[in-house]
Structure 1
């Protein structure tokens, strides 16, 4: 789409007459960025939300692969900010029918470092909380342009500023090359995607007044891979002071990053798949050829994450403990109750009708062989009403999501710093005949108050879906505003600690529950001690 690139601004050494066209609609809102002015739209139910899409926060990385992002070249004439920027290069992710309401793909390009802003005020002197969303898709796919992440309703509802963004992914953003090249410009290649987010947060800090926000009250929040990015930023010295609250939704996977010992062979294998012998050749490979090489490599274009390189990331994010540099940052962390009914169910529908005879081999993919029968026996004891499929999905959910969320909450609460709050989302979606129950990513529709944009996943907009949006969006807004998610619509929500393990269970009638499914937790924490950590 043409609008995806018109707002780009100018990369060093590039000019484009279309990019420099002057807006002819003075009634549209104008945002004066430090690089130049951009012109957006007004949206929301009251048309009082100023929206700027595809705002450049850094120059194009095309021709500068594996290098740190730099500031964009300034412009003078107002640029159109009505279309999302390019998606960052990534492998095809396939169609997931329940996500169809959210789909909003943009052209792919290495010129992709853009962000999007929703705000009710521009330079009006108000100090609104700023909520910066980090998209899901692990460290390998996704973008900030999904319809599910539209920030208009959240900005209007809570008078907050909402920001979404794109950053480099997969091998473009997380190829550790320090052992393969002595060129200092590649020294940070293992963490460029996270460093892009830091640069976007610097843009937010520098433009907080312009977008009607408070540079001293920034919340980073994300789901799945976005939550993993939140966890990583909490351990990055370069991100210190750029955010003040953190929310990790269904993605506490980055308790540990890759070590150079693991990351270097992956980079070597990528070079082998690309049929190149030097980093310079890999950097010069055409974008599509690079994506093909990733998919043919051992990583399959999917096995990337931040690297503890001793530079931008000097320790594992939450292993063996919570990072001291974010000790004073409150954390809201949680999961959905049946996360893996999405990936482990829709991706393998036979898992919805497992027999007890089939279960051991299925659990063998998740549990050490010597522990499989202990897991089955233990789960049947604490959940006597479960069938074999329910045991499989709950063990998979704990293995991939719940276990690391608990570890993160435990380690953060034990740090003695800012408070930690734990939630679980139990509302069940009616789509797919109800068999998904409370699957991965479902809460996004409610957090953003976007149920009308999420009908493929939440079903038709109803009083029930609107109620879930009311209670969850307001809790997230309250946390962004104060560091405490308590609202008048919720029962008393104490901070999380290992003595009570109080968890807010979100459903039509939310409840604060002490150690929900404690028997399952005790069993699986013992047999699966670190979940997906490395």
Structure 2
């Protein structure tokens, strides 16, 4: 018999497959349509009877990835108004005290959703965890800084979802006192921001930041420059009334046009220092420092003690930026003449390339660009987060995903660790290549389960002097301060 559980909004019916009960598309907030598109989220309206929760729900309005990236990630898109919902997988709805993990997806704050096959939570439930995956508002509705609208609406959605977990996860056998929030890319940035947010205090015990940073926020003035540019594309004022009245598809087209203009701008500084510093031309929308949900840059808050009682696991892939530069052909177009120009565009001293070249014999200019941008945007920020959290007494563990994809040129790129963490390698071959190592998925997935269960993923905690990093590869190993010379070159050059 299919399981039925009672929640604050009403009863829902799930489905059992392979001993795992899945409840899909459960609303935690009212649909953000009409005037509500730019309002703070409100709890979902209660329903009568038993609601069917056996099919994946809608995703926020978004553009499909460009063909080179879509070929790697797929093109899942289920548009719909009622997209503020969660999926839940549990080994036993009648149980109690199970560790809980809440997944926040990535996608540059403009794409993604909890319906992607790689985020299926069955393996976590199989291994004794209640897995909850969250949708939140994306793009302009979620993150544009707009006069007259509450700030950081996408983050407020995440906060409401975490509050929903506190109220309802016991109905699925979970322990609301043992919640781990985890996310990758924009999801990892969200987790780091929540770690520092006073609004998130008490909502989770542990946090995992995968390929995210604690500095990916925009100053409000810079964020408003992006909003004004979107409004200008539509030919309307940058007001709640005007953007709220815009057709969602037209709003999306304007948002995409602005993102493209930022990526191609010969003078990116005009978009504001914080936007270009954090986005590196890849992203245009971020959480905004608002003095409320985001009182300050998260890293500064963490260094001052925010979130010090939360256990943290954080890390990157070895070759993050190859995901953005290789499939698009950018890496192949960068030559020795162009490399220093591109580096300078992003505020990186071109002399840094000499250090990277010395440790990478035969590397092309595109290879060097990918390595430098990986370290600037991801690896150095991960070290800074680990140092700051540890300095105020926060227990921290650091990892690096080192296995190279079988897809030529990708290396250990951005997002490659996801099917290993979720143990969802079946179907991930467009990104992993053929025959990805199941042993590595077993190992990495088990580490995430262990961390959610006990706070210990299985290797030494971070020490700012020794800098132990668990490097996941074939084989995996614990390494002390890998590639220290590269990060030192960035720091010494003031890049």
Could you state the TM-score of these two structures normalised by the residue count of structure 1? Answer: 0.84
> Would you say the 8 A contact 1:101–1:455 is kept in 2?
no
**Structure 1 residues 287, 343: CA separation in 2 closer, same or farther (over 3 Å shift)?**
same
Which residue number in structure 2 is paired with residue 15 of structure 1? none
> Would you say the 8 A contact 1:235–1:323 is kept in 2?
no
> Would you say the 8 A contact 1:366–1:396 is kept in 2?
no
Which residue number in structure 1 is paired with residue 292 of structure 2? 311
C-alpha separation in 1, matches of 2:401 and 2:174: 29
Which residue number in structure 2 is paired with residue 54 of structure 1? 25
Which residue number in structure 2 is paired with residue 503 of structure 1? 469
Q: 1:472 Cα deviation (Å)?
A: 0.3
Equivalent position to 2:305, from 315, 318, 324: 324
Equivalent position to 1:34, from 8, 16, 25: 8
Q: How does 1:187-336 map to 2 (within 5 A)?
A: 188=150, 190-252=151-213, 254-277=214-237, 278-297=239-258, 302-319=283-300, 321-322=302-303, 324-336=305-317
Answering whether residue 40 of structure 2 is matched by residue 68 of structure 1, we say yes
Equivalent position to 1:174, from 135, 143, 152: 143
Q: 1:320 Cα deviation (Å)?
A: 6.9
Unaligned 5+ residue runs, structure 2?
A: 263-282
**Structure 1 residues 328, 205: CA separation in 2 closer, same or farther (over 3 Å shift)?**
same
Which residue number in structure 2 is paired with residue 162 of structure 1? 131
> Would you say the 8 A contact 2:196–2:301 is kept in 1?
no
Alpha-carbon RMSD across the aligned residues, in angstroms, is 2.2
Equivalent position to 2:394, from 403, 409, 418: 418
> Would you say the 8 A contact 1:98–1:456 is kept in 2?
no
After superposition, give the CA deviation of every residue in 1:317-336 in whole Å (9 maximum; x if it has no partner). Answer: 11375352311111111111
Equivalent position to 2:66, from 72, 83, 94: 94
CA radius of gyration, larger in: 1
State which drifts further: 279-288 or 378-387.
378-387
After superposition, give the CA deviation of every residue in 1:24-74 in whole Å (9 maximum; x if it has no partner). Answer: xxx21212221111112112xxx1110011111111111212101111221
Which residue number in structure 1 is paired with residue 273 of structure 2? none
Which residue number in structure 2 is paired with residue 24 of structure 1? none
**Structure 1 residues 259, 159: CA separation in 2 closer, same or farther (over 3 Å shift)?**
same
**Structure 1 residues 153, 413: CA separation in 2 closer, same or farther (over 3 Å shift)?**
same
Which residue number in structure 2 is paired with residue 138 of structure 1? 108
Which residue number in structure 2 is paired with residue 532 of structure 1? none
Could you state the TM-score of these two structures normalised by the residue count of structure 2? Answer: 0.90
Which residue number in structure 1 is paired with residue 274 of structure 2? none
> Would you say the 8 A contact 2:64–2:77 is kept in 1?
no
Answering whether residue 406 of structure 2 is matched by residue 430 of structure 1, we say yes
Unaligned 5+ residue runs, structure 1?
A: 1-26, 487-492, 530-534
After superposition, give the CA deviation of every residue in 1:78-106 in whole Å (9 maximum; x if it has no partner). Answer: 12212111111223322346755654321
After superposition, give the CA deviation of every residue in 1:459-517 in whole Å (9 maximum; x if it has no partner). Answer: 3345xx1101111001111111111111xxxxxx2111221011111112211111101
State which drifts further: 322-331 or 336-345.
322-331
Which residue number in structure 1 is paired with residue 276 of structure 2? none
**Structure 1 residues 97, 285: CA separation in 2 closer, same or farther (over 3 Å shift)?**
closer
State which drifts further: 320-329 or 477-486.
320-329
**Structure 1 residues 51, 311: CA separation in 2 closer, same or farther (over 3 Å shift)?**
same
> Would you say the 8 A contact 1:501–1:514 is kept in 2?
yes
C-alpha separation in 1, matches of 2:225 and 2:352: 34
Which residue number in structure 2 is paired with residue 12 of structure 1? none
3-state secondary structure, aligned to 2:89: strand
Which residue number in structure 2 is paired with residue 17 of structure 1? none
Which residue number in structure 1 is paired with residue 455 of structure 2? 483
Q: 1:387 Cα deviation (Å)?
A: 4.3
> Would you say the 8 A contact 1:191–1:312 is kept in 2?
yes
**Structure 1 residues 258, 358: CA separation in 2 closer, same or farther (over 3 Å shift)?**
closer
Which residue number in structure 2 is paired with residue 409 of structure 1? 386
**Structure 1 residues 524, 246: CA separation in 2 closer, same or farther (over 3 Å shift)?**
same
After superposition, give the CA deviation of every residue in 1:210-229 in whole Å (9 maximum; x if it has no partner). Answer: 01111011111111111001
3-state secondary structure, aligned to 1:50: strand
**Structure 1 residues 340, 101: CA separation in 2 closer, same or farther (over 3 Å shift)?**
closer
3-state secondary structure, aligned to 1:209: helix
Q: 1:272 Cα deviation (Å)?
A: 2.9
Q: How does 1:386-465 map to 2 (within 5 A)?
A: 386-415=363-392, 417-432=393-408, 435-461=409-435, 465=437
> Would you say the 8 A contact 1:103–1:147 is kept in 2?
no
**Structure 1 residues 528, 399: CA separation in 2 closer, same or farther (over 3 Å shift)?**
farther
3-state secondary structure, aligned to 1:214: strand
Q: 1:364 Cα deviation (Å)?
A: 3.7
**Structure 1 residues 388, 307: CA separation in 2 closer, same or farther (over 3 Å shift)?**
closer
Aligned residues: 473
